[in-house]
Amino acid sequence: MDDPTSMIERDVEACTEARIDLIRNDPILIERISEGGAFGGENSRAASVAMFSRDHPGAVEDLRAKAHVVEVAPRSWLMRLPIVNSAVFETDAGLLVCDTGMAPAGPALLGAIRSVSDAPIHTIVYSHGHVDHAYGTWALLEDEATMAAGPPAIVAHRKVAERFAYYLRLRGMVARYMNQPPDHLPASEEDFVWPTVEFDDVLRLDIGGETVHLVHHPAETDDQCYVWLPDRQALYSADYYQGFLPNMGNGKRVQRGTDQWVIALREMADLGATAMLPGHGEAIVNSEMIRSELRILADALAHIIDQVVDGLNARLRKDQIVDCLNWPARFADHPTLAVTYVSPQDIARMVLKRWTGWWDDIPSHWSPAPVADQARTIAALAGGVDSLVEVARTLIDHDLTQACHLADWAWYAQPDHPEVPQLVIDVYRARILDPASNTQEMTVYLDHMAAARAQQLQAGHR
């Protein structure tokens, strides 16, 4: 009998086809996931599954069609691409471009730039090395006006290069956790546009007589920085601020900044910016609103961090710390702290990861039996897999979380049982449609449903 995890690893293509089959026959699934998957912008389904591809025709054309320009201040623009933004500032020496979007967004970004300025691109800043911020550069380097003036400087924190190397080394893992086709992932160093200027903590640039500050604080990534133009009182806030509860608690990603994220927000709040151009979402051009938005987000994140630290010092189990997390109305009711992509509990888990090891404080989990063996024991105690299936179905309408636990035990105990794959699909479909579910967890549920659907297709169940 195959363990389902082994099946996924052995037959990625089958699970991809099963995922497509699920979405085609039940489009409400992708509609629900897309509600938060646009990160405060317009969505592009084609681009969301081709982030690393420079030549995916559907993604390139959709991004071109949906890109638009917002003039935030004189010679200052926020380029609104689906999912992500770029900020462009025209100086007397040429253009400063902050972030370049995902790989297929390069042509759309260049078109947006050329719709407002003929100046060459003087400097490109990567606020961090994520694919949606640093992969469209290739198209900008094909711009004749820019290359005639000389290649632009590409400036980034020194750890961006480490992130690019990480994408190369772990391309299969990245493809899986980002739901990208494995053959789209970078295969060599030539698939990146590398920084030409690197810095550690703070870098001061002079571009066309204007001062530009790049300030590093680990946050969504360990290589992230914000860009401050004091002469314009303009701030490119990158992904420190996202217009919703930020992606600090991503269960599928490497450790993210916690305390430093708060420090960066409070630091930016004190700059006195009159225009804030974020990496996701709409620009803010009211100085008091900028200050209040950054401060309340800092307060909310600090609130979670402090509760986790207090729980650890009280020697509570990790699950108890998360389960008793208090989230006051001041944050819960705030429109720009909406739970869209991750929850306060997800963030608490990331903070726990920052301070502790992999053990979850359950003694038997230090050296556990294989999950499939545990599942078969639980099924036997329940009176067989049929009993797990029966009880799980009775729980779907009034205790969905417990229904998911039972469905998982049934799946890991006997994935080829005729009733189990459909149970998994039904339970996790309900979980996706549950208003309490956020985007990141929904992607996990859809992947699990796809594995179950692949099992059905393999068994000939259409």
Across the range 118-144, mean pLDDT stands at 98
Across the range 9-16, mean pLDDT stands at 72
Is residue 70 within 8 Å of 55, Cβ to Cβ?
A: no
Is residue 430 within 8 Å of 454, Cβ to Cβ?
A: no
Chain segment 39-92, per-residue pLDDT in tens: 888 899 899 999 999 999 999 999 999 999 999 999 999 999 999 999 999 999
Is residue 232 within 8 Å of 243, Cβ to Cβ?
A: no
Across the range 414-421, mean pLDDT stands at 96
Q: Tell whether the model's pLDDT for residue 392 goes beyond 70.
A: yes
Read off the DSSP letter of residue 461: -
Q: Which amino acid is at 197?
A: V
27: exposed, middle or buried (Cβ count in 10 Å: 0-12, 13-18, 19+):
exposed
Across the range 330-347, mean pLDDT stands at 95
∠305-309-313 over CA atoms, to 5°?
Answer: 170
- pLDDT score at 14: 84
β-partners of residue 206 are 211
Q: Tell whether the model's pLDDT for residue 7 goes beyond 60.
A: no
Is residue 88 within 8 Å of 207, Cβ to Cβ?
A: no
Backbone dihedral angles phi then psi of residue 135, each to the nearest 5 degrees = -115, -5
Chain segment 269-309, per-residue pLDDT in tens: 999 999 999 999 999 999 999 999 999 999 999 999 999 99
- pLDDT score at 385: 98
Across the range 185-206, mean pLDDT stands at 97
Q: Which amino acid is at 355?
A: W
Tell me the C-alpha distance between 444 and 19, whole Å. Answer: 12
Q: What is the dihedral of CA 160, 164, 165, 167, to 10 degrees?
A: 130
Across the range 159-178, mean pLDDT stands at 95
Chain segment 376-385, per-residue pLDDT in tens: 999 999 999 9
**Percent of the chain at pLDDT exceeding 90:** 89
Tell me the C-alpha distance between 211 and 431, whole Å. Answer: 50
**pTM (two decimals):** 0.94
Tell me the C-alpha distance between 353 and 452, whole Å. Answer: 30
Count each helix (H run) and each strand (E run) in the chain, helices first: 21, 12
Confidence of residue 11 (pLDDT cuts 50, 70, 90): low
What does the block give as tokens for 114?
Answer: 């050329």
Q: Which amino acid is at 382?
A: A
Instruction: State the number of CA atoms in the 13 A half-sphere of 74 facing the CB.
Output: 4
Q: Tell whether the model's pLDDT for residue 195 goes beyond 80.
A: yes
Is residue 238 within 8 Å of 99, Cβ to Cβ?
A: yes
Q: Domains in the chain, please, with CATH?
A: 4-15+369-458 (no CATH), 41-302 (3.60.15.30)
- Distance (Å) of CA 376 to CA 36, 236, 243, 368, 369: 37, 53, 45, 14, 11
Tell me the C-alpha distance between 84 and 59, whole Å. Answer: 14
DSSP letter for each residue of 140-209:
HTT-HHHHHH-PPEEEEETHHHHHHHHHHHTHHHHHHHTT--GGGS--SGGGS---SEEESSEEEEEETT
**Range of lowest pLDDT (41-45, 78-82, 189-193, 417-421):** 41-45
